[in-house]
Amino acid sequence: MPIETMQFGRTGHESTRLLFGAAALSSVTQEEADQTMELIIKHGINHIDTAASYGDSELRLGPWMEKHRDDFFLATKTGERTYDKAKAEFERSLERLRVDNVDLIQLHYLVGEEEWEVAMGEGGALEYLKEAKEQGLVKYIGVTGHDVAIVRMHQKSLDFYDFDSVLLPYNYPMMQNDTYREGFDEVVKMCKENNRAVQTIKSITRRPYPAEQRTHATWYEPLTDQKDIDKAVHWVLGNPDVFLNTAGDITLLPKVLDAAERYESRPSDAVMQEMVDSVDMEPLFV
C-alpha cells in the first residue's frame, strides 16, 4: 500500500513519512542517481533531504530539480558556522541544485558548544539563514545533529530560536540509553508544542563498522536482510510523531521502501530485543 503521509510540521506540506536521504547520492554516477530518482518517484516519495557536504549529491539532484522542482519538498544543509561562509555555501548549493530556492535549509550537525555559540551569535550562520528566508531563497530553517549529546543541544537550539524542524538519530538500540531516550522524548515534546517537524536518521543501523570492514556507503554497518529492515523501519514508523530518512546507500533503498509500504504496526519490544541479540546490534553512539 502507499507510504503514508503527514504534514511536515508547520510547513503545511504533506510529506511522505519516508524522506529520501540523498546522502545516498554522494558518490554515485548520474545514471545511478537517475535510476534512484525514478525509483523514489515510482514509490511516491515527495520529500528530499540533502546537504552541501554530501559529496556529489546536490549535483546529481540538479538535473531532476531543474525539471521536477515543484514535485518535491527540497531540503539541504550548511555545515558552516559564520555568516559569510554559510552564505557562500548556500549560494553554491542553489547553483548545484539548479534551483532558485529550497524549502528548508538546516544548520548541519550542530553539536559542539563552541560551534553553537558562533553559529547562533552575531555574524553567525543563523543570521544569514534568517536573511535568506527574508529574501525568499528558503522558506524554513532547521537544525540537525548526531551523537547522544544532540538531544541536549537540540533543546538549547529550540529554546534559542523557533526552528521549523530538527533531525536526529532514532532506532531501537539507541533508545535503550536512558539519557538519550529521555532527551529525545523532550525534543519531540518541544516540537509538538510548537508544530515543528521531527526527522530521524540511522533507522537500520546494525552497529559501528568493525575496523576496515566497510561494506556499504553508510558510515555504519547497516542491517541488510529484509526481515530485519522490516522490523527496524516498522519500529520507527510506529512513532506517529516522526519522519524516517532513508539510509545513505542506494542498494539499501529498495528494501527500506518495501518495508515502509508494508508497515501496519510497531513490533513489540520483545521482538526488537530478539533481533538485537540475533544480529549483534549495538548503539552507533554511546
Q: From CA 260, how far away is CA 253, in angstroms rounded?
A: 11
Judged by DSSP in three states, 103 sits in strand
Q: From CA 156, how far away is CA 255, in angstroms rounded?
A: 36
- Cell output for 217: 556507503
The pLDDT of residue 193 is 98
pLDDT by 10s per residue, the chain, length 286? 899 999 999 999 999 999 999 999 999 999 999 999 999 999 999 999 999 999 999 999 999 999 999 999 999 999 999 999 999 999 999 999 999 999 999 999 999 999 999 999 999 999 999 999 999 999 999 999 999 999 999 999 999 999 999 999 999 999 999 999 999 999 999 999 999 999 999 999 999 998 778 899 998 999 999 999 999 999 999 999 999 999 999 999 999 999 999 999 999 999 999 999 999 999 998 8
DSSP 208: S
CATH architecture group of domain 5-278: Alpha-Beta Barrel (3.20)
- Cell output for 28: 554515485
DSSP 11: G
Beta-strand ranges (E) seen in 8-46 are: 14-16, 18-21
The pLDDT of residue 226 is 98
Q: Which residues, listed in sequence order, are joined to residue 141 by a DSSP beta bridge?
A: 105
Give me the residue spans of the domains in the chain.
Answer: 5-278
Q: From CA 249, how far away is CA 242, in angstroms rounded?
A: 21
The pLDDT of residue 212 is 74
> What is the separation, in whole angstroms, between the first and last Cα of the chain?
36
**Taking the complete model, does pTM exceed 0.75, yes or no?**
yes
Q: Of 70, 16, 68, which is closest to residue 199 (Cα–Cα)? A: 16
